Structure 1
Protein backbone atom coordinates (compact mmCIF):
# COMPACT_ATOMS: atom_id res chain seq x y z
CA UNK A 1 0.00 0.00 0.00
CA UNK A 2 1.40 3.40 -0.97
CA UNK A 3 1.90 6.28 1.45
CA UNK A 4 -0.87 8.23 -0.25
CA UNK A 5 -3.33 5.33 0.17
CA UNK A 6 -2.48 4.99 3.86
CA UNK A 7 -3.02 8.71 4.42
CA UNK A 8 -6.38 8.55 2.65
CA UNK A 9 -7.52 5.55 4.72
CA UNK A 10 -6.39 7.21 7.96
CA UNK A 11 -8.13 10.49 7.02
CA UNK A 12 -11.39 8.68 6.22
CA UNK A 13 -11.16 6.71 9.47
CA UNK A 14 -10.57 9.87 11.51
CA UNK A 15 -13.47 11.66 9.79
CA UNK A 16 -15.71 8.68 10.54
CA UNK A 17 -14.73 8.72 14.21
CA UNK A 18 -15.45 12.43 14.51
CA UNK A 19 -18.87 12.08 12.87
CA UNK A 20 -19.70 9.09 15.10
CA UNK A 21 -18.71 11.03 18.22
CA UNK A 22 -21.03 13.94 17.40
CA UNK A 23 -23.92 11.71 16.30
CA UNK A 24 -23.73 9.34 19.26
CA UNK A 25 -23.29 12.10 21.85
CA UNK A 26 -25.41 15.06 20.73
CA UNK A 27 -25.65 16.28 24.32
CA UNK A 28 -22.05 17.45 23.99
CA UNK A 29 -22.99 19.54 20.96
CA UNK A 30 -25.76 21.41 22.80
CA UNK A 31 -24.18 23.51 25.54
CA UNK A 32 -27.15 25.69 26.41
CA UNK A 33 -28.69 23.29 28.94
CA UNK A 34 -26.94 21.12 31.51
CA UNK A 35 -28.84 18.05 32.69
CA UNK A 36 -28.78 16.67 36.23
CA UNK A 37 -30.50 13.74 37.89
CA UNK A 38 -32.30 14.42 41.17
CA UNK A 39 -32.39 11.26 43.27
CA UNK A 40 -34.78 11.03 46.21
CA UNK A 41 -36.16 8.07 48.16
CA UNK A 42 -39.42 8.32 46.17
CA UNK A 43 -38.09 8.71 42.60
CA UNK A 44 -35.47 9.94 40.18
CA UNK A 45 -36.07 12.80 37.75
CA UNK A 46 -33.94 14.57 35.18
CA UNK A 47 -33.77 18.36 35.32
CA UNK A 48 -32.21 20.95 33.06
CA UNK A 49 -30.52 24.19 34.05
CA UNK A 50 -29.53 26.93 31.62
CA UNK A 51 -26.14 28.62 31.61
CA UNK A 52 -27.77 31.70 33.18
CA UNK A 53 -29.26 29.64 36.01
CA UNK A 54 -25.94 27.90 36.63
CA UNK A 55 -24.15 31.27 36.65
CA UNK A 56 -26.19 32.24 39.72
CA UNK A 57 -24.86 29.21 41.60
CA UNK A 58 -21.45 28.78 43.23
CA UNK A 59 -20.40 26.41 40.42
CA UNK A 60 -21.62 24.17 37.61
CA UNK A 61 -21.25 20.83 39.37
CA UNK A 62 -23.93 18.65 40.96
CA UNK A 63 -22.49 19.58 44.36
CA UNK A 64 -22.94 23.28 43.58
CA UNK A 65 -26.56 22.72 42.51
CA UNK A 66 -27.21 20.68 45.66
CA UNK A 67 -25.63 23.43 47.78
CA UNK A 68 -27.82 26.07 46.09
CA UNK A 69 -30.89 23.89 46.71
CA UNK A 70 -30.06 23.50 50.40
CA UNK A 71 -29.33 27.21 50.92
CA UNK A 72 -32.47 28.39 49.07
CA UNK A 73 -34.74 25.68 50.50
CA UNK A 74 -36.24 25.05 47.05
CA UNK A 75 -35.38 25.54 43.38
CA UNK A 76 -37.62 26.07 40.36
CA UNK A 77 -36.26 23.98 37.48
CA UNK A 78 -37.38 22.39 34.22
CA UNK A 79 -38.08 18.67 34.38
CA UNK A 80 -36.81 16.82 31.30
CA UNK A 81 -38.21 13.70 29.70
CA UNK A 82 -37.81 11.58 26.59
CA UNK A 83 -40.11 12.17 23.64
CA UNK A 84 -40.22 11.64 19.90
CA UNK A 85 -39.33 14.85 18.08
CA UNK A 86 -40.86 16.28 14.90
CA UNK A 87 -38.44 14.29 12.75
CA UNK A 88 -39.33 11.07 14.59
CA UNK A 89 -36.02 10.87 16.45
CA UNK A 90 -36.06 10.41 20.23
CA UNK A 91 -34.91 13.48 22.16
CA UNK A 92 -34.56 14.76 25.72
CA UNK A 93 -36.88 17.76 26.10
CA UNK A 94 -38.36 19.99 28.81
CA UNK A 95 -41.68 18.68 30.11
CA UNK A 96 -42.77 21.16 32.76
CA UNK A 97 -41.49 23.67 35.30
CA UNK A 98 -41.32 22.13 38.77
CA UNK A 99 -40.12 23.08 42.22
CA UNK A 100 -37.69 20.85 44.08
CA UNK A 101 -37.73 21.16 47.86
CA UNK A 102 -34.56 20.66 49.87
CA UNK A 103 -34.55 17.31 51.65
CA UNK A 104 -31.58 15.67 53.41
CA UNK A 105 -32.31 12.39 51.59
CA UNK A 106 -32.26 14.03 48.14
CA UNK A 107 -29.04 14.37 46.19
CA UNK A 108 -28.09 15.57 42.72
CA UNK A 109 -25.94 13.71 40.17
CA UNK A 110 -24.54 14.50 36.74
CA UNK A 111 -26.61 13.20 33.84
CA UNK A 112 -25.43 12.73 30.26
CA UNK A 113 -28.14 11.88 27.78
CA UNK A 114 -27.30 9.87 24.67
CA UNK A 115 -30.20 11.68 22.99
CA UNK A 116 -30.41 15.14 21.44
CA UNK A 117 -31.09 17.68 24.20
CA UNK A 118 -33.70 20.34 23.38
CA UNK A 119 -32.95 23.66 25.02
CA UNK A 120 -35.61 25.39 27.08
CA UNK A 121 -35.62 28.48 24.82
CA UNK A 122 -36.12 26.31 21.71
CA UNK A 123 -39.06 24.53 23.36
CA UNK A 124 -40.74 27.77 24.44
CA UNK A 125 -40.36 29.24 20.91
CA UNK A 126 -41.78 26.05 19.36
CA UNK A 127 -44.86 26.22 21.64
CA UNK A 128 -45.38 29.91 20.82
CA UNK A 129 -45.39 29.16 17.08
CA UNK A 130 -47.96 26.38 17.46
Structure 2
Protein backbone atom coordinates (compact mmCIF):
# COMPACT_ATOMS: atom_id res chain seq x y z
CA UNK A 1 0.00 0.00 0.00
CA UNK A 2 1.46 3.35 -0.99
CA UNK A 3 1.75 6.27 1.43
CA UNK A 4 -0.87 8.22 -0.52
CA UNK A 5 -3.37 5.35 -0.30
CA UNK A 6 -2.57 4.83 3.38
CA UNK A 7 -3.03 8.56 4.10
CA UNK A 8 -6.34 8.65 2.22
CA UNK A 9 -7.56 5.57 4.09
CA UNK A 10 -6.51 7.06 7.42
CA UNK A 11 -8.18 10.37 6.53
CA UNK A 12 -11.37 8.53 5.59
CA UNK A 13 -11.37 6.53 8.83
CA UNK A 14 -10.72 9.64 10.90
CA UNK A 15 -13.52 11.49 9.11
CA UNK A 16 -15.90 8.58 9.65
CA UNK A 17 -14.89 8.40 13.30
CA UNK A 18 -15.47 12.12 13.69
CA UNK A 19 -18.96 11.83 12.26
CA UNK A 20 -19.79 8.97 14.62
CA UNK A 21 -18.29 10.82 17.57
CA UNK A 22 -20.07 14.06 16.66
CA UNK A 23 -23.43 12.32 16.52
CA UNK A 24 -22.97 10.45 19.83
CA UNK A 25 -23.39 13.44 22.17
CA UNK A 26 -26.80 14.32 20.74
CA UNK A 27 -28.00 10.85 21.79
CA UNK A 28 -26.40 11.17 25.22
CA UNK A 29 -27.64 14.70 25.94
CA UNK A 30 -31.11 13.53 26.98
CA UNK A 31 -30.67 10.01 28.27
CA UNK A 32 -33.75 8.36 29.67
CA UNK A 33 -32.98 5.69 32.22
CA UNK A 34 -35.41 2.81 32.19
CA UNK A 35 -36.16 0.57 35.15
CA UNK A 36 -38.02 -2.67 35.49
CA UNK A 37 -40.39 -2.95 38.45
CA UNK A 38 -41.00 -6.56 39.43
CA UNK A 39 -43.69 -7.80 41.79
CA UNK A 40 -45.05 -11.25 42.53
CA UNK A 41 -47.85 -10.77 39.98
CA UNK A 42 -46.45 -8.42 37.36
CA UNK A 43 -43.50 -6.58 35.90
CA UNK A 44 -43.44 -3.29 34.03
CA UNK A 45 -40.84 -0.97 32.52
CA UNK A 46 -40.80 2.59 33.87
CA UNK A 47 -38.89 5.85 33.54
CA UNK A 48 -38.83 9.09 35.47
CA UNK A 49 -39.53 12.51 33.95
CA UNK A 50 -37.26 15.41 34.87
CA UNK A 51 -39.81 16.50 37.49
CA UNK A 52 -39.95 12.95 38.91
CA UNK A 53 -36.14 12.88 39.21
CA UNK A 54 -36.23 16.11 41.24
CA UNK A 55 -38.96 14.70 43.48
CA UNK A 56 -37.19 11.38 43.99
CA UNK A 57 -33.75 12.93 44.41
CA UNK A 58 -31.99 10.91 41.74
CA UNK A 59 -32.31 8.67 38.71
CA UNK A 60 -31.20 5.31 40.08
CA UNK A 61 -32.70 2.26 41.76
CA UNK A 62 -31.64 3.39 45.25
CA UNK A 63 -33.40 6.75 44.93
CA UNK A 64 -36.54 5.10 43.55
CA UNK A 65 -36.58 2.47 46.30
CA UNK A 66 -36.04 5.05 49.04
CA UNK A 67 -38.79 7.30 47.62
CA UNK A 68 -41.29 4.44 47.53
CA UNK A 69 -40.37 3.40 51.08
CA UNK A 70 -40.54 6.96 52.45
CA UNK A 71 -43.72 8.05 50.65
CA UNK A 72 -45.50 4.70 50.29
CA UNK A 73 -46.16 5.43 46.60
CA UNK A 74 -44.50 6.97 43.57
CA UNK A 75 -46.08 8.09 40.29
CA UNK A 76 -43.93 7.39 37.20
CA UNK A 77 -44.22 6.81 33.45
CA UNK A 78 -44.89 3.25 32.31
CA UNK A 79 -43.07 2.46 29.06
CA UNK A 80 -44.01 0.06 26.27
CA UNK A 81 -42.74 -0.86 22.81
CA UNK A 82 -44.41 0.85 19.84
CA UNK A 83 -43.64 1.69 16.23
CA UNK A 84 -42.25 5.18 15.74
CA UNK A 85 -43.19 7.55 12.95
CA UNK A 86 -40.30 6.15 10.91
CA UNK A 87 -41.60 2.58 11.32
CA UNK A 88 -38.82 1.55 13.73
CA UNK A 89 -39.58 0.02 17.13
CA UNK A 90 -39.02 2.26 20.14
CA UNK A 91 -39.60 2.24 23.90
CA UNK A 92 -42.03 5.07 24.60
CA UNK A 93 -44.14 6.45 27.45
CA UNK A 94 -47.50 4.67 27.65
CA UNK A 95 -49.23 6.12 30.72
CA UNK A 96 -48.65 7.44 34.23
CA UNK A 97 -48.84 4.73 36.89
CA UNK A 98 -48.57 4.77 40.66
CA UNK A 99 -46.20 2.33 42.34
CA UNK A 100 -47.34 1.32 45.81
CA UNK A 101 -44.81 0.18 48.37
CA UNK A 102 -44.83 -3.56 49.05
CA UNK A 103 -42.40 -6.03 50.55
CA UNK A 104 -42.33 -7.98 47.29
CA UNK A 105 -41.51 -4.99 45.05
CA UNK A 106 -38.15 -4.95 43.28
CA UNK A 107 -36.70 -2.18 41.08
CA UNK A 108 -33.79 -2.94 38.75
CA UNK A 109 -32.09 -1.18 35.83
CA UNK A 110 -33.51 -2.03 32.40
CA UNK A 111 -31.50 -1.87 29.20
CA UNK A 112 -33.42 -1.33 25.97
CA UNK A 113 -31.98 -2.56 22.70
CA UNK A 114 -34.15 -0.12 20.75
CA UNK A 115 -34.52 3.67 20.68
CA UNK A 116 -35.93 5.20 23.90
CA UNK A 117 -38.29 8.19 23.74
CA UNK A 118 -37.78 10.63 26.64
CA UNK A 119 -40.54 10.97 29.24
CA UNK A 120 -42.75 14.03 28.66
CA UNK A 121 -42.20 17.12 30.77
CA UNK A 122 -45.15 18.13 32.94
> Considering the TM-score relative to the shorter chain, is it more than 0.5?
yes
1:10 CA drift (Å): 3.3
1:49-103 CA deviation, whole Å, 9 max, x = no partner?
0122112223321111111011110111111000011221111111111111111
> Which SS does the other structure have where 2:120 is aligned?
helix
TM-score normalized by structure 1? 0.73
Q: Which residue of 1 aligns with 2:82?
A: 83
Cα deviations across residues 12-48 of structure 1 (Å, max 9, x unaligned)?
Answer: 55247648x95xxx5x4532x3321111122221011
| Gap runs ≥5 in structure 2 | none
Tell me the residue number matched to 1:5: 8
Q: How many residues align?
A: 117
Structure 2 counterpart of 1:48: 47
Give TM-score, length-normalised by structure 2: 0.78
Contact 1:34 1:50 (8 Å CA) reproduced: no
Indicate the RMSD between aligned Cα atoms, in angstroms: 2.6
1:34 corresponds in structure 2 to 33
SS state at 1:120 partner: coil
In structure 1, runs of 5+ residues without a counterpart are 125-130
Post-superposition offset of 1:116: 1.7
